[in-house]
């Protein structure tokens, strides 16, 4: 091989002068420093590292894929100390459990921060994916994506309910424990519409057997409330002992029309799911008694004695104490696939009596529902009564042919009046009750009626009237309510009722009622949704807005027959 000679350098390269050697070494060391500096300190150095470093050194950090000691070393790092991987500048932070699980360490989450790191991760994924899968399968067999309840139970030190349901050995301690267990009283009405109704809806919407079983189990606990001389249930029940009693404020120990009359939808479904006729028998017995006793002017007073089966007071209201009884009559008919003729007859007969005695027109042309006290009208309409616009609307099409348009018009007029109670306030939210006397129209005249507690009834009627007519004003009215809620009721942790709807300097009551989520927001959401979301052709909403399906026995029987034929 021929070498080209350089000045002062022999062909062998060994004849350098001392000063030339020094300069050559200085140049060489600078070149090395520059190269390694570029390798480790320049921003886009990952590809260079792949050239110089082995694959083992550039594997992404995966906590849990190494030994238990490696995991512990990671967990020892301070919480705010980032960790730079071999894949560039991306910071990787580790989250750890505060307590060590009884059997094995949980997989620690690893987060990649920064777009560049994600780009690098994608580039190397093809090289590392198979290796990572092998490591994961070998070390994370107990932590697969599918949760295993059996494996979870094996990780517990002790059974959740103890060896004897936690029963203490000491008799005095056990006696005190049983005393605590007694404070299980509940409203028959509220448990039914909220919990039984909610569980039934959850079952019908998901098919999960757990919800069905719990609904039936809870329904069984309500049955002792019907153990009265008349079969009219009392309003309060101890779910543990089965003891029941009437509300202390109810006149002469009476039961409330809106409570014992708001069981039918849920109890029919309990029979449907459990094949136990007792639930339907209980609510049908209530109907029989109501059909038998005399009704003043065809009206249903709010208080009935569960002992004698007679009315206690002649106070009639489509609002509080009476409201949902009428609602459940028409909805029972609809839910039966329009086969429950008894419910239909009771509803339209009651509606005729309401029109004749309670429906009024104000001097300003507003249609409203007054209350009836022993023959004397009280020209007050409660917010609770504003559901009646929607109720009359959904029943309009099944009334007498000559009255169908009349009922739809009446529904629209009542809904319009309730909207006026909103627009006539400073906050554009309606009061608890509004009056039509002493020159007042659709406004609260008493300080005790000026509050709003996130009630849903007005919006409920908007939703039904939209579904029935598709008049865009109902959506506009609903949006007005959304804006008012956002402006006056939203607080840091949710939504709150306000004490006075007639002042924009609102005072919050610091309470978000449960029906705000269950009803108010649900009806608003449905109002702005297409009609096929929980279609009224298939579903009926209970009075807490839990959807229950229409029972089409003919369809169910046909399917059962076909299945039987196919199996044979």
What does the pLDDT read at residue 114? 41
Supply angle C-alpha 205, 210, 211, rounded to 5.
45
Which long-range contacts (C-beta less than 8 Å, at least 24 apart) are formed by 52-61? 53/86, 55/127, 57/86, 58/86, 58/87, 58/124, 59/86, 59/128, 59/131, 60/85, 60/86, 60/87, 60/121, 60/124, 60/128, 60/132, 61/85, 61/92, 61/110
Helix/strand/coil (H/E/C) assignment for every residue in 281-322: HHHHHHHHHHHHCCCHHHCCCCEECCCCCCEEECEECCCCCC
CA dihedral sign, ordered 238, 243, 248, 249: positive
Strand partners for 490? 495
Rounded CA-CA distance 395/540 in Å is 12
User: Does residue 334 fall inside a structural domain?
Assistant: yes
In the prediction, which pLDDT does 145 show?
Answer: 66
- Assigned domain for 72 exists: no
- pLDDT at site 17: 63
Task: Let me know: does 263 contact 281? Beta carbons within 8 Å.
Answer: no
* Residue 209 pLDDT greater than 70, yes or no: yes
Q: Which residue in 564, 36, 303 sits closest to 28, CA to CA?
A: 36
Give the active site residue among 73, 129, 175, 190. Answer: 190
Let me know if residue 100 belongs to a domain: no
Whole-number pLDDT of residue 397: 97
Domain count, the chain: 1
Q: What is residue 37's predicted lDDT score, i.e. its pLDDT?
A: 60
Local confidence band at 33 (pLDDT 50, 70, 90 cut-offs): low
Torsion region of 88: left, alpha or beta (phi above 0 gives left; psi -120 to 50 gives alpha): left
Does 267 reside within a domain?
Answer: yes
Classify strands 185-187 and 236-238 as parallel, antiparallel or unpaired: antiparallel
* Confidence band, pLDDT 50/70/90 cuts, at residue 560: low
Which domain does 327 fall in, by range? 149-566
> Is 50 exceeded by the pLDDT of residue 125?
no
The domain that contains 481 carries what CATH number?
1.50.10.10
Which pLDDT does position 149 carry in this prediction? Answer: 83
476 is catalytic: no
Question: 243 labelled as ligand-binding?
Answer: no
Higher pLDDT, 52 or 318: 318
Whether 284 is covered by a domain: the verdict is yes
Does the structure show a pLDDT above 80 at 54? no
323 included as an active-site residue? yes
The Cα–Cα gap between 201 and 218 comes to: 14
> How many whole angstroms from its chain centre is CA 561?
37
Return the SS3 of 247.
Answer: coil
Q: Which residue from 334, 502, 511, 374 is spatially nearest to 429, judged by alpha carbons?
A: 502
Classify residue 518: in a domain, yes or no. yes
**pLDDT number for residue 38:** 55
Residue 202 pLDDT exceeds 80: yes
On whether the pTM is more than 0.85, the answer is no
Candidate list 259, 420, 457, 519, residue with the active-site label: 457
Q: Are 210 and 204 in contact (CB under 8 A)?
A: no
CA distance 530 to 534: 9
Query: Residue 153's pLDDT is what?
Result: 87
- Residue 123: pLDDT above 90? no
- pLDDT (tens digit, 9 = 90+) per residue, 467-525? 999 999 999 999 999 999 999 999 999 999 999 999 999 999 999 999 999 999 999 99
218 lies in some domain:
yes
Asked if the structure places residue 448 within a domain, the reply is: yes
Can you tell me the distance from the alpha carbon of 399 to that of 396, in angstroms, rounded to the nearest whole number? 6
Q: In which order are the strands placed within the sheet that holds 244-245?
A: 185-187, 236-238, 244-245
Place of tokens 């709010």: 302
- pLDDT 10s digits, 511-541: 999 999 999 999 999 999 999 999 999 999 9
Marked catalytic residue, from 259, 323, 327, 460: 323
Catalytic status, residue 437: no
User: What's the pLDDT band for 161 if we cut at 50, 70, 90?
Assistant: confident
Q: Based on the residue annotation, tell me whether 294 is a catalytic residue of this protein.
A: no
Average pLDDT over residues 96-122: 39
* Pairing assessment for the beta strands 433-435 and 539-541 based on DSSP bridges: unpaired
Read off φ and ψ for residue 512, nearest 5 degrees. -105, 105
DSSP string, 144-201: -SS--HHHHHHT-SS-TTTTTTT--SSHHHHHHHHHHHT--EEEHHHIIIIIIHHHHH
Lowest mean pLDDT among 108-117, 407-416, 418-427: 108-117
What pLDDT, in 10s, does the model give residues 272-329?
999 999 999 999 999 999 999 999 999 999 999 999 999 999 999 999 999 999 999 9
């Amino acid at each position: 091989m021929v070498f080209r000679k350089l000045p002062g350098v022999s062909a062998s390269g060994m004849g350098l002068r001392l000063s030339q050697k020094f300069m050559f070494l200085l140049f060489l060391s600078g070149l090395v420093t520059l190269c390694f500096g570029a390798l480790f300190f320049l921003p886009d150095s990952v590809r260079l590292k792949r050239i110089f470093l082995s694959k083992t050194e550039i594997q992404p950090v995966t906590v849990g894929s190494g030994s238990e000691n490696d995991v512990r070393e990671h967990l020892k790092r301070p919480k705010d100390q980032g960790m730079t991987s071999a894949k560039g500048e991306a910071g990787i932070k580790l989250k750890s459990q505060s307590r060590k699980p009884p059997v094995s360490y949980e997989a620690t989450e690893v987060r990649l921060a920064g777009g560049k790191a994600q780009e690098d991760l994608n580039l190397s994924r093809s090289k590392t994916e198979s290796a990572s899968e092998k490591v994961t399968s070998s070390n994370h067999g107990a932590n697969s994506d599918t949760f295993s309840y059996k494996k979870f139970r094996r990780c517990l030190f002790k059974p959740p309910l103890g060896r004897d349901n936690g029963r203490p050995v000491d008799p005095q301690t056990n006696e005190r424990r049983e005393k605590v267990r007694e404070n299980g009283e509940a409203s028959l009405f509220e448990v039914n519409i909220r919990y039984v109704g909610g569980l039934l809806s959850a079952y019908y919407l998901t098919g999960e057997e757990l919800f069905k079983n719990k609904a039936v189990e809870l329904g069984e606990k309500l049955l002792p409330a019907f153990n009265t001389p008349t079969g009219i249930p009392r309003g309060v029940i101890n779910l543990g002992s089965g003891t029941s009693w009437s509300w202390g404020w109810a006149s002469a120990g009476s039961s409330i029309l809106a409570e014992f009359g708001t069981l039918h939808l849920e109890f029919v479904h309990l029979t449907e799911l459990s094949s136990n006729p007792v639930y339907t028998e209980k609510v049908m017995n209530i109907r029989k008694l109501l059909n038998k006793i005399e009704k003043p002017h065809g009206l249903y007073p709010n208080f009935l004695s569960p002992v004698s089966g007679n009315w206690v007071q002649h106070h009639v209201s489509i609002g509080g104490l009476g409201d949902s009884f009428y609602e459940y009559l028409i909805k029972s008919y609809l839910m039966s696939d329009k086969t429950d003729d008894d419910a239909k007859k009771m509803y339209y007969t009651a509606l005729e009596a309401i029109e004749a005695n309670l429906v009024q027109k104000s001097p300003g042309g507003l249609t409203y529902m007054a209350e009836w006290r022993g023959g004397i009208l009280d020209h007050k309409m409660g917010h609770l009564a504003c559901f009646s616009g929607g109720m009359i609307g959904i029943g309009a099409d099944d009334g007498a042919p000559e009255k169908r348009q009349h009922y739809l018009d009446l529904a629209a007029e009542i809904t319009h009046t309730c909207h006026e109670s909103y627009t006539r306030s400073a906050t554009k939210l309606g009061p608890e009750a509004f009056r039509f006397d002493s020159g007042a129209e659709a406004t609260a005249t008493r300080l005790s009626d000026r509050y709003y507690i996130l009630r849903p009834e007005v919006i409920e009627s908007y939703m039904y009237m939209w579904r029935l007519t598709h008049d865009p004003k109902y959506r506009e009215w609903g949006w007005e309510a959304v804006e008012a809620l956002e402006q006056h009721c939203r607080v840091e942790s949710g939504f709150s009722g306000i004490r006075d709807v007639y002042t924009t300097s609102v005072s919050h009551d610091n309470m978000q009622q449960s029906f705000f989520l269950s009803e108010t927001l649900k009806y608003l959401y449905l109002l702005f949704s297409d009609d096929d979301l929980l279609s009224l052709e298939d579903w009926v909403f209970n009075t807490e807005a839990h959807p229950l399906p229409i029972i089409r026995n003919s369809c169910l029987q046909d399917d059962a027959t076909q299945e039987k034929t196919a199996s044979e």
